[in-house]
Chain A
Amino acid sequence: MGFRNTFEFAIIAVFVAGIAAVGPIARAQKSAASRKIGALAVKSDTVPVTTSSKEARQDYELGLSHREDLLFTEEGIDFFRKSVKADPHFALGHATLAFFTTDPSEEVRELALAKASASHAAPDEKLLIQWMTGTKNGQLVPAIAAMNDLLAKYPNDKRLANMYGEWLLGAQENYDQAAKVLEKILKNDPDYYPALNNLAYSYALGGRAELAPPLMDQYVAALPGQPNPQDSYAEILRMAGDFPDALDHYRTALRIAPTFFTSQVGIASTYALMGDEERARFEYVKAIDMAKERTDRMDYRILWAMTYFRENRPGLARKAFAEVAAEAHKQNLPIEEAECHRDTALFNPDSESAMNDLDAASAVMADKRHILVGTRETELAKILQTRSFIAVRTDNVDAARKALEGLNSMAQTNRDNVVQDAYHSANGAVMFLQGDYSGAISELEEDPRDPLSLQLLADAESKAGQTADAQKTLKTLAAINDETVEMAVVVPPVRAALKSNGSPSAQETSH
């Protein structure tokens, strides 16, 4: 098909352009960060770093400055890789790489190496390793205790506190606690820019959105030559539906740093949300080329494929997703491969065929021993939740019950937010199908951020006669502007129906 040739041509063209742009910035950053190392090495108010290799230490510090301070995520992870290559017994290096990598195979391998090398680390360093590895393998109680011990011992280690705040915000979704940790950093250093960024998001996501813009302004002013402040500002504007200003900020970020791929994908997704799918595809191709991590590249290919569904071209969409799934399989990326099948199912108007798509997604996850159990279960939970959502479309209570059984069993042993939320959502779906609308509302309210659950919640509220609540839920849904498949499936029909004063239901949500 023509689109594939165009896709390949664009990849090559943008790749050549990207290479030309990447060098000077990376070198400039490395030089600046290298100078910083000299100053940091003599500080005694940060957690010790034990390595026999000067090169490993330097790369570790560069990793932190890129990944944590400036949010050059890929470059940061690359520096962590270099650091453990320079010193294979560098326990904190292995733990940090395991903590930040997006590659599930690397995560498993580095966790094991961190554990095996831990005896080489200093006592306080071991606490940091315990926190990093504990957050990955479900040992959260000792992990949190270790981090709080460190924060008490190193009250001036801003980067440590910011890392904890970022984890509370992103992984734990504990916005109040994240804000507390980050506010403390800024009390001592009001210009510490990584905390400004994270605190803005903590406020925005924690229901204090009015406090976020001044922090973003401060963040932008603090780092005029850096792309991430512009990128973050753009994202917040886009979420609020201000697409033109979001594009301006994303473009400013790319003018500052032409290789800052998250802004490139931000531009692409903004066009996708605006309904300009052809332009979105063009921009996604650029993002795919710019990203270095194979997981990022595959994630963006999924978003690229989704544009065909967004513009209601199901044939092309299924073909595109099949190709991406095949490539993910080839690259041994089971999460991305399963996501391709799950996304296809969500857009599939034929519920029986959609269940087959979900069977394919489950099959991918069935025997993958090289990824962590938690990672596999998170994806399985999403697949089962999707199954229950699709079951509602056809009043298939048996299929919904079966999905719930799988989630119930998983939720008994896995406290991951995604697993727990998916369980409540599926339980709500079963109750909905059984006519227990009050019970369904109660369960679906436990998953207040997923468009699939919000759609079912609106349906249940409507069936229960709570018309005002249903309208409020639909308006909440209609206000979502993000690049997730759930949003792409659920929100457009809701917006259309609200525009015509109707109330769409899950049964009608298929393309």
Chain B
Amino acid sequence: MTTRFRFIVLSLLLVACATVAFATDFAVIVHPSNAAKAMSLADLGKILREKTTNWPNGRVITVVIRDPNSPAMKFVIEKAMGGTAEDGKAVLNEESRKPAASIIFVSSDEDIVKTVEANPTAIGIVDVYNITSGVKVIRIDDKQPFDPGYVLKGH
């Protein structure tokens, strides 16, 4: 390992083993052609709850997320939809949403990114480390991932 690395990180193996808690930021992504540049966390919650179903241009919003039962999504659901993760999951899994394809569950962040890259009406939520330049990261509550105080910083 490098010398700098040694000083900063490696020395803490045993501590890390005892308390594992890696934090990541979740990025809200849309197709680059989407005019949206920012939204509030409350607006994101409305989209997830299907209270808001259309973009300002009238096109139907398609939500692309991972299985609501995954640990990462549990955090996002609680944060964006309010209430418990179970309530959020129930809303996201409502049968009435599926025929309209307003929500798509996929198995990986890579699949979310690919789906959003190909769909001008999609909005997805991924670990920021999985974004590409084929998607646009939008600001939530005036902040983007890695900004201090970014609301979708999870554990």
> What is A's interface to B at a CB cutoff of 8 Å?
71, 73, 102, 138, 140-142, 144-146, 148-149, 152, 168-170, 172-177, 197, 201, 204-207, 209, 228, 231-232, 235-236, 239-240, 262, 265, 296, 299, 411-415, 420, 445, 448-449, 454, 472, 476-477, 479-484, 487
- Among B6, B8, B15, B22, max chain A CB count under 10 A is at B15
Closest residue on chain A to residue B129 by CB atoms: A177
Among A172, A177, A204, A299, contact of B17 (Cβ-Cβ < 8 Å): A204
Q: Is the beta-carbon distance between B131 and A476 smaller than 8 angstroms? A: no
Closest residue on chain A to residue B18 by CB atoms: A476
Q: Is the interface of A mostly helix, strand, loop or mixed?
A: helix
- Among B3, B21, B135, max chain A CB count under 10 A is at B3
* A454–B18 alpha-carbon span in the complex (Å): 12
Q: Is the beta-carbon distance between A482 and B12 smaller than 8 angstroms? A: yes
Kindly supply a per-residue 1/0 record for chain B positions 1-27, scoring 1 wherever the CB is within 8 Å of any chain A CB and 0 otherwise.
111111111111111111111101001
Q: Is the beta-carbon distance between A144 and B15 smaller than 8 angstroms? A: no
Question: Contacts of A204 on B, CB cut-off 8 Å?
Answer: 13, 16-17
Q: Is the beta-carbon distance between A148 and B1 smaller than 8 angstroms? A: no
Decide yes or no whether B146 CB sits under 8 A from chain A. Answer: yes
The 9 closest A-B pairs by CB, nearest first: A482-B11, A207-B20, A448-B19, A239-B13, A479-B14, A145-B133, A476-B18, A449-B12, A148-B132
Q: Is the beta-carbon distance between B15 and A141 smaller than 8 angstroms? A: no
> What is B's interface to A at a CB cutoff of 8 Å?
1-22, 24, 27, 127-135, 137, 144-150
Among A102, A206, A239, A420, contact of B22 (Cβ-Cβ < 8 Å): A206
Known: A173-B22, A235-B10, A411-B148. A448 touches B131 (CB 8 A): no
Known: A170-B5, A209-B17, A239-B13. A144 touches B144 (CB 8 A): no
Question: Contacts of B146 on A, CB cut-off 8 Å?
Answer: 138, 140-141, 415
Among B3, B13, B17, B144, contact of A73 (Cβ-Cβ < 8 Å): B3
18 A-B pairs, CB-CB below 8 angstroms?
A140-B128, A145-B135, A146-B133, A197-B1, A201-B9, A201-B10, A206-B22, A239-B13, A414-B148, A415-B146, A420-B148, A448-B19, A449-B15, A479-B18, A482-B11, A483-B7, A483-B11, A484-B11
* A454–B127 alpha-carbon span in the complex (Å): 28
CB distance from A274 to the nearest CB of B (A): 16
* A142–B127 alpha-carbon span in the complex (Å): 14
CB distance from A458 to the nearest CB of B (A): 13
* A448–B22 alpha-carbon span in the complex (Å): 10
Q: Is the beta-carbon distance between A476 and B15 smaller than 8 angstroms? A: yes
Question: Contacts of B22 on A, CB cut-off 8 Å?
Answer: 173-176, 206
Question: Contacts of B127 on A, CB cut-off 8 Å?
Answer: 177
A-B contact number at CB 8 A: 140
Q: Is the beta-carbon distance between A412 and B148 smaller than 8 angstroms? A: yes
Q: Is the beta-carbon distance between A484 and B1 smaller than 8 angstroms? A: no
CB distance from A112 to the nearest CB of B (A): 22
* A160–B106 alpha-carbon span in the complex (Å): 28
Q: Is the beta-carbon distance between A145 and B131 smaller than 8 angstroms? A: yes
Q: Is the beta-carbon distance between B24 and A177 smaller than 8 angstroms? A: yes
Q: Is the beta-carbon distance between B1 and A201 smaller than 8 angstroms? A: yes
Question: Contacts of A483 on B, CB cut-off 8 Å?
Answer: 6-7, 11
Q: Is the beta-carbon distance between B129 and A174 smaller than 8 angstroms? A: yes
Q: Is the beta-carbon distance between B3 and A480 smaller than 8 angstroms? A: no
Question: Contacts of A412 on B, CB cut-off 8 Å?
Answer: 148-149
* A146–B69 alpha-carbon span in the complex (Å): 30
* A232–B145 alpha-carbon span in the complex (Å): 33
CB distance from A153 to the nearest CB of B (A): 10
Closest residue on chain A to residue B8 by CB atoms: A170
Q: Is the beta-carbon distance between B145 and A140 smaller than 8 angstroms? A: yes
Among A141, A197, A481, contact of B27 (Cβ-Cβ < 8 Å): A141
Q: Is the beta-carbon distance between B129 and A168 smaller than 8 angstroms? A: yes
Known: A141-B145, A207-B16, A299-B3. A170 touches B9 (CB 8 A): yes
CB distance from A234 to the nearest CB of B (A): 11
Question: Contacts of A148 on B, CB cut-off 8 Å?
Answer: 130-133
Among A146, A176, A262, contact of B3 (Cβ-Cβ < 8 Å): A262
Question: Contacts of B1 on A, CB cut-off 8 Å?
Answer: 71, 197, 201, 228, 231-232, 235, 262
Question: Contacts of B12 on A, CB cut-off 8 Å?
Answer: 205, 449, 480, 482
Closest residue on chain A to residue B127 by CB atoms: A177
Question: Contacts of B132 on A, CB cut-off 8 Å?
Answer: 145, 148-149, 152
CB distance from A331 to the nearest CB of B (A): 17
